[in-house]
Amino acid sequence: MEKIYYTSPYEREFEAKILDCRQEGEKYAVLLDRTAFYPEGGGQPSDTGYLGETRVTYVKEAGEMVVHYTDRPLVPGMTVKGVIDWDKRFSNMQQHSGEHIVSGLIARRYGYDNVGFHMGKEGMTIDINGVLTWEQLMEIEREANRIVWRNVPVSVLLPTEEERKNMAYRSKKALEGQIRIIVIPDADSCACCGTHVAFTGEIGVIKFLSVMHYKGGVRISLLCGRDALYDYERKTDQLLDISSQLSASTFATADAVRRLKGENGEKDARIGELWRRIFELRAEQLPAGNGKIAVFEPDLAPVQVRQLCECLLERGRGKIILVCSGDDSGGYSYCMGSRSTDVRDAGKALNTALQGRGGGSSQMVQGTFRAAQRDIEETFGKICAEFEEEKKWS
């Protein structure tokens, strides 16, 4: 079986004879006498495209053969025209070639290996078995792009086993048989079965996106060529949108966001202060006393329900205080507290009676009720009376 992608990676159309076609589940597995379709492998995704009018969705290696998966059957013995999705393939060639330069430079400068490589729809990642900082990676990125701009040839060597003994090249595993060594001057020599560009200039650009710690080393996320351009376009759109919303120039957006967050924090503090005053005024409206009181306030967040409860307890407005906020249709968030009595059992009893949930400490329980205000008031009164009668509360 002739593997055109090895010898002529730029061949996007070819003619081949159909050797076999078998149904496998929903798909058909097609064998050809020659193919330009790259099968998934070495971190590079498979090509897609057409055999005649029939869509090829996935291609994989099976022993020495390449299996094409199609959505319709093809007739063995016929000759068919194959067309690969070139934009996708060329993008893969850009990514893969860029990956070689980056991995090669890291190996040369730091002695770290590429131990994992993935190319997918979401981008490309390289796992390196040593830690590199963002600053170190930026140096590698600049160096890698200089090699792109020099537009040096990417050559494929097919050395004999004897010749290989004296060659230095990166390789993930011990290899046997005919091996392809991809050589990029001043950057990399690496055993690889993927597809690559002929000259580094075709990579366009190499851009690192992020780095994270991963298995004792780092995982670098990067893009090359077309995908890097698309990423730049999307990020520019985002940045222009942010810039216009903040009325800040694009390179002043981070400072503008920091300033906005600072102002927001000050506003939150001011609003919190105003709420505290409202709660104090509310407390003043209630008489001081030693009773069991239920207070309903509209539109409070759970944290404010708690603040109001604490404020009323502080000012001695009751021995057991229940604060609720919400409405009859959506339910209520509540906070029940006491300075002298354990309220946990009463909280549980209220939850049971009022389809509630929640809990807390001996002095304060918080949660929600799925019940109407009237039911809450009635149940609270009833439970307070019961607890008193049974001397559960001192």
The residues that touch Zn ion, with contacts defined as CB under 5 A, are 96, 192, 194
Q: Which lies closer to Zn ion via its Cβ, residue 80 or residue 182?
A: 182
Q: Shortest distance, CB of residue 19 to Zn ion, whole angstroms?
A: 28
Q: Which lies closer to Zn ion via its Cβ, residue 67 or residue 197?
A: 197
Q: Shortest distance, CB of residue 92 to Zn ion, whole angstroms?
A: 10
Q: Which lies closer to Zn ion via its Cβ, residue 10 or residue 275?
A: 10
Q: Which lies closer to Zn ion via its Cβ, residue 59 or residue 384?
A: 59
Q: Shortest distance, CB of residue 104 to Zn ion, whole angstroms?
A: 11
Q: Shortest distance, CB of residue 16 to Zn ion, whole angstroms?
A: 24
Closest residue to bound Zn ion by CB = 192
Q: Which lies closer to Zn ion via its Cβ, residue 172 or residue 392?
A: 172
Q: Shortest distance, CB of residue 194 to Zn ion, whole angstroms?
A: 4
Q: Which lies closer to Zn ion via its Cβ, residue 170 or residue 306?
A: 170
Q: Shortest distance, CB of residue 99 to Zn ion, whole angstroms?
A: 7
Distance CA 321, CA 382 (A): 14
Q: Shortest distance, CB of residue 109 to Zn ion, whole angstroms?
A: 20
Q: Which lies closer to Zn ion via its Cβ, residue 194 or residue 358?
A: 194
